[in-house]
Structure 1
Amino acid sequence: MSEALASPSQGSAVRTASPFTRGSVLAILVVGFSAFVAMLYFLGAGDTGGESANRNAHASSNALHGFAGLTRLLEANGYNVEKSRERSGLETPDLLILTPTRSTNPDDFAEILESRQYQGPTLVILPKWIAARPQGEVAEEDEERVQDDWVQLISPYSPEWAGELPELYSMNLSVEFKEQPARWGGMRFAGQLPMNSILSSEHNPNHEALVIDDNGRRLALNVIGQEGTYFYDEAHWLTIVVEPDLMNNHGLADPARAALALALIEQAGYDEKRVTFDLTMVGIGGATNLLTLAFRPPFLAATLCLILATLIVGWRAFLRFGPVVAQSQEARFGKTQLVTNGAGLIVRAGRLQLLAEPFANLAQRKVARALGLSNPDADAIDAALAQRLPDEEPFSNRVDKLKSASRAGEVLRAAQSLNNLASKVTGISKR
């Protein structure tokens, strides 16, 4: 019982049981570190899970008017598809697909189109639908397949800002309702739209029709400009899909419309297999922060080194993890311990030579008292010692050795010599 309750004052270390096993601690560290790194990455990438609340049509939307199906269709046909959340993505030399919204500023949009003349091909899919969250309750058998970003198409509209663009890009748009889904044709394909409404553009001499409806109105077109102009001779392709139901998720349910979508992208992108979808125009991303830069070259290398260093430090700390050791008390109580602690401090400080003179004075008084001398003078002590201990080294010589010692070993030997002399004299006086 006494062994189990060993007191710290006895110089023993008490080892308590750890509440966690090594495997539990490792699991906590791995899960916590992975979650932290994932949080940093998604914050830097701008992916904070807020896309489901965006009712605009964009490349990540699974709604009827979204274009997630188009991205998957392109990937299935060997395209390298990128979704850009930054304004710098508008400068890509690859085919850039823009999906403007109902509130797009015509001046800002025209500036983007003009800069794209020198950067690369562009395909624009105009907006058409006002969408809202689905109303009513979902049938029990459909709950598992219903997604958060599904919407209900309220009504079609014509984006008025398209008519405010510069003359080269300007379009006079209108929405027409038919008794049956309108037919379309172009690019060697033909078919019907999925809805009874149709968004189309009237004739513009700067535009070349690619897909038309029964009345010859343009559903998809190329902006070519006037012959002899810079745009006509040198500018990159600009294709505008006026009727989005030809390429959105609802439209791609039909094989003919899916084939048309591939044909439009193929001719707009010069047969290249790289496509970038812009997400900034619908309010997703668009900002660069320090976290974003940390996961991109050239800062990515420093970030990886920092993560590696953190892992090494964490692994080192994990290897040292174990039951807590309760150390014994460093400074004990009592006169003896006080002297011991003081001596230990002097030894650590390396100042033993400072004790030479005080120790010599103490030894002189002790020897003089043992010899019965009233005046503890070194010469008197030497004379008395010569009578009683003629074979011993004189007291004054031993004091001089102590005071002249410069090293710790010399100080200890000289002090021991004085202490031995004092012990002999004291033993003689007691006889």
Structure 2
Amino acid sequence: MSATPEPFARRTAIVLVVVGTLLALAAILLNGFSDVLSRQLGSLPAADEKHGAGYYALRQLVDRTGGGGSLVVDPDDLAAMPELAVLTPAIDTQPEQVARLVHAREAHAAAAEEEDAEESGDFPTLIVLPKWHVAALPLQPNRVQRVGLLSSEKVAALVPAKAVDTTYGATQEMRSAPGWKLRPFLAPRYLSAVTGKTLVPVLRDQDGAAVLARIGRTNTYVLSDPDLLNNAALKHPQNAQAAIALLAALDPKYPGAAVFDASLHYGPGDRNLVKLLFTPPFLAATLAMIAAAVLAGLATAVRFGPVLRERRAVALGKAALIDNIAALTRLSGRTLSAGARYADITREGLVRTMDLPRDLDEAGVLERLDRLGDRPAPYSQIDHRLRTARTEAELVAAARQLHAWKDALA
């Protein structure tokens, strides 16, 4: 009966195991870092977006006028920068993230004021609120279309102040509040404004609602209408000049300078076990465990023979009983004496089987058995070798000849 063929070649099985392991590891990593990948591979931060609703033009304008315009991902780094920080939260940004970043900058400003470090700056912050739902145009990169206005309640929640409302109205003339001299912007078709008890208008519409407001006595400002600073607005030279003048007015110590926040877009994400295992300081231990598992697998795959298992002190079965008897005989030094006894037992069995006369002597029995065949040798010679064997090897060889003689006879 032939053995069952293996369904796969050895090389194919190895390739399947390796590829399956790599795919499983990739699935685990993608699941653990899904939030990070969605942030990195999704939409860009508003300060890097080149469509009409982004602020790439403003960042380039600041950079080319010598104001820096760097994009900062780490919120701790942004909180420690004394120049004007421009925050561009999206409608799905958590209000707590905005408030945490603003409060961190206010804490740095308070610490600098206590130290009387005039050269450190005032840590002003400008929050540019979102306004439009936009959708990307197919097959047209860096192009979007306006779908509709955002919910005023959700937009107002992004302002780190109490009792804030946002409103949308038709185009109105904007003017600076007393004490502020800002260059005029081209007003958009729909103007967004904010109102609140703690908001102090800097730029307002005809009804007195603030388009640009200061939160209390802090250095945090809120721009309710992004259509004054986004890429679509800065296509007009008047708005570009007004934007630079606005940044300079908000931060007199660093006029025209600004840094742009990306931490609200590239958030840290949720913590989980996969991130813990595959990020420092535990990454080294994880790699060591993976290497140990690979080496253990290779050692298992190339080992010789089956795994050795502990045997019983006294084995079971007829074969084990015979082995034990042979071992005891060998230990007692009586192995060679078994040859004569084996020859006698075999000869007596043949006499009964062949129905030979009982009165025949030993020579007569050997003569009768020699007549029956001589393969592999006459019976008398084999009998003599069994009785005169001097080593265990000679005894085994004679016993095998006797067995072959009996098989030839049958």
After TM superposition, the score normalised by the length of structure 1 is: 0.47
After TM superposition, the score normalised by the length of structure 2 is: 0.48
